[in-house]
Structure 1
Amino acid sequence: MTATKSHAFTSLAAEVLDIEARAVSELKRFLDENFDQACEYLLTCKGRVIVIGMGKSGHIGGKIAATLASTGTPAFFVHPGEASHGDLGMITADDVVLALSNSGETGEVLSIAPLIKRRGARLISMTGNPESTLASLADVHICIAVAQEACPLGLAPTSSTTATLAMGDAIAVALLHARGFTADDFAMSHPGGSLGRRLLLHIHDVMQTDERVPLVNDDASLSQALLEMSRKGLGMTGVVNQQQQLIGVFTDGDLRRILDQRIDLHTAAIATVMTRSPITITADVLAAEGLKLMEDRKINGLFVVDAEQRPVGALNMHDLLKAGVV
């Protein structure tokens, strides 16, 4: 590839991005009473939001429906062509239909618009032409007109589809705030994703419990503590007093540090080499908080304690990795 061709690619790409950025920025002039009314219809919808659109508008419509659904507004996409052949039965009087068409004259959408109105569903149109047929049929119209397409031929939907997508995001986020939608609500819609795991998993979901928790009494020897660490494989052991309260911890890192001190591993008491007042966490906090605590304190493991400082579990970075929290 020559430098000249490379320069042409990047300069054309920059021009496209400039055109589309302007198109999105200029949408703010259409945030008027029609936008407010459309959001009110969507917010008070007793059924579902059905998004329809043909061609590129259909692709954008699918994404808008998915964004609405994941941010607290139940929604799905219906292909207008399929709607004409039976899928119109999915639409009820309790629903709100969001119809997308840049021209506002898409035949497949216009053919089902009167039937949508006859069913009693609200119809919101989103077009680039406020004087279009679809805009006139709708209960409320949101304008998404753009000055020019980024395509130099003015044919391929580029700026117009970007504007439609951006306006859809604006609607979704406005509704999100109006509903008081929280990060926990978002996580409930995304339990399989990494964000969902970070927001839903608690320490008690990922910690080691019962016999898998490495513990020795405070009168144990260092060699006994090392055997317990080896058996449990968490790279540490907790040290408990007679009341079974956690009073110390000994880790692989502690072992490396004391090797230079010529301590007899067989006769030394664990109480003389352990770290006292260890960092702990409770089982009811989010696993993500445990991760942050470990990162902030630069440690690889944590003991989980109850209100009486008795250990009820333990975890290390590997447990968080395995659970997908990291």
Structure 2
Amino acid sequence: MTSLRDWGSTLGKWTGRPVARVQKDSGDPEVGRIRKAARAAEWTAVREILEARPESEDRTELLWAVADTEEVERWMPGVIRAEPDAALPRIVAGFRFITWGWEARTGAYAKDVSRERFELFHARLRSSEEWLYEAAEREPGWISPWYGLQITARALSAGPVVARRRFEATVRRAPHHVGAHQQYLQQICAKWGGSHEEMHTFARDSVLAAPGGTRLGSLVPTAHIEQWLSLDEGEDTAYMRRPEVTRSLLEAADHSYRHPDFERRGSWLGVLNTFAMAFSLAGERDAARECFRATEGRVTESPWDYLNGASPAMAYRKHRSAAGR
């Protein structure tokens, strides 16, 4: 098993600097394959790719790749009718109706979204919940339906009790599910009715309760970035430069990507990119440079889109240069 320190040792011998490019598939070639199959409405191929990725290994990235594909909602109902007892088509429909709902709402501020768009948004999310509940009934041990239901709970303002129950339902089936924890962290953010204190406690406790090398490590920098976003200019920089913020980032890094059991699989690129941005904002150039080196120029849209929504790669390059990489 190769640790980040091993990668750093190898990469340190190379004097070039890779071109920074946004990585749409997190390094997983199956993401591109399943997108192509979804665009062609080839359900057999989509199903084969999903079934080859066991629930225990987290299918959510593949499901989102299908869900982000236009017109999936047109042909999935036919698949469901043809396979009335199958859970998988219902999960795909559930995920698609989430993204289709957000397409109706758009990314505008709530005050700028029309009543008609909000009604369509909510209608599609309610349809998503129906598909996901039906999938959960057919496959009680599966994780994906409950993960999807976490998202609809927040979008439909179902409240903290429902949100907590759905998070718990997900982690009962997969205690260290990265997506489930990311969704619950958003749920308890101050902007969604929670608090900074609750958010930071949840992030730290979740990371330290997981085995060494956990990809949950990104929860800690994500929480600090969330608080940084909530502050006015000047206050945001002062917050990120606090010694206790740096200490918490280093603690999480040691239990996550710096641990010898950390593996380059799943959402590993997101972990490194999130730490890279947080360490950059904290002024920790050495730690940031370590993360930039390990990403090898592969950029994830989040969290860099917070700095430059039009070009996450440009934000990445700017901070990589500032770190001396």
Shorter-chain TM range is under 0.3
* Higher alpha-carbon Rg: 1
Higher helix share: 2
The TM-score, its normalising length taken from structure 1, stands at: 0.22
Would you tell me which structure has more strand in proportion to its own residues?
1
TM-score, normalized by length of structure 2? Answer: 0.22
